Amino acid sequence: MQLYVDSANLADIRAAAALGCISGVTTNPSLLAKEDPTLDIKELILDIHRTIGGHVSVEVVSTDTDGMLREADAILEWFPDATIKIPFIPAGLSAVRNLANRDIPTNVTLLFTANQAVIAANAGATYVSVFLGRLDDISTDGVQAVRDTCEIWDVHGYESQIIAASIRNPLHLLECAKAGAHIATVPYKVLLQSMKHPLTDSGLKSFLDDHAKMMTAKGA
Ligand code: E4P
């Protein structure tokens, strides 16, 4: 399972990129709105891409097909490597089909069921983003939606990549990896939480203490 960072915060993305384990970034209008409103969105996205060097999903905000396609074309003019993120609404599906026919990668967002993912895959989505945290927020098992999607992918061999999105904690990450999601997009904070283990910290401390003792004994 590949790891993306779900963020528009350049400091977090830089820190995540430095770890060497991140293959992409997903953004959305809400993540962008959390950043300094004076920032130029184009420049920020290009900076993110320069930092991460891989996948960057950029979301459209139109709700009609023509508007989405105009936005996609405009984004691709200044950022030809963009993956166009499109909401799962009927107008969005038509836009996905149009972009797929032109070999332009798309990430269909705001999916909450495996059925929605199947429909997006049939429209030609390159990526399908299943939002599990928001399902948990309304007392519905979000991981199960990812499991169902992965099970269907195993049966039918759909080519779209499954992105586990709206990940809120390390257990979400673990369960999505076990389910077989191709990608998990995680907030930087969850990435750090997932790296942390007290035995790693205490183990390193013992190694360093023992090394220091040995050096002292040698008179080094
Ligand atoms: C993914 O593409 C979305 O941007 C994201 O995962 C949404 O997460 P949230 O539910 O924490 O806002």
DSSP assignment of 170-217 equals HHHHHHHHHHT-SEEEE-HHHHHHHH--HHHHHHHHHHHHHHHHHHHH
Q: Nearest-CA neighbor of 56 among 78, 26, 86?
A: 26
Using CA positions, which residue lies closest to atom 1 of ligand 1? 165
Residue type, 212: A
Using CA positions, which residue lies closest to atom 7 of ligand 1? 166
pLDDT in tens, 102-111: 999 999 999 9
Using CA positions, which residue lies closest to atom 11 of ligand 1? 166
At residue 37, the pLDDT reads 85
Mean local confidence (pLDDT), 183-192: 98
Per the residue annotation, which of 34, 42, 85, 213 is the catalytic one? Answer: 85
At residue 220, the pLDDT reads 72
pLDDT tier for residue 80 given thresholds of 50, 70 and 90: very high
pLDDT tier for residue 1 given thresholds of 50, 70 and 90: very high
Between the two ends of the chain, the Cα-to-Cα distance in Å is 45
At residue 155, the pLDDT reads 98
Q: Nearest-CA neighbor of 173 among 189, 161, 185?
A: 185
Global pTM value: 0.96
Mean local confidence (pLDDT), 79-96: 98
- Concerning whether 213 is annotated as a catalytic residue, the answer is no
Is 133's C-beta closer than 6 angstroms to any atom of ligand 1?
Answer: yes
| Helix segments in 86-187, DSSP class H | 90-101, 114-122, 132-137, 142-156, 170-179
CA of 168 to the centre of ligand 1 (A): 9
Q: Nearest-CA neighbor of 214 among 206, 202, 200?
A: 206
The answer, yes or no, to whether residue 192 has pLDDT greater than 80, is: yes
Q: Is 17:52 a contact under the CB 8 Å cutoff?
A: yes
CA of 186 to the centre of ligand 1 (A): 8
CA of 165 to the centre of ligand 1 (A): 6
CA of 200 to the centre of ligand 1 (A): 30
At residue 149, the pLDDT reads 98
Q: Is 4:23 a contact under the CB 8 Å cutoff?
A: yes
Q: For residue 215, which phi and psi values (nearest 5 degrees)?
A: -65, -40
Residue with tokens 């990526």: 127
Mutate to test the pocket of ligand 1, among 166, 176, 182, 188 (most ligand atoms within 8 A of CB): 166
pLDDT tier for residue 161 given thresholds of 50, 70 and 90: very high
Q: Which atom of ligand 1 is nearest to the CA of 137?
A: 10
pLDDT in tens, 50-68: 999 999 999 999 999 999 9
Stronger pLDDT, 3 or 219, i.e. the higher one: 3
Write down the mean pLDDT value for the chain. Answer: 97
As a whole-number percent, the residues of the chain with pLDDT over 70 amount to 100
Using CA positions, which residue lies closest to atom 9 of ligand 1? 166
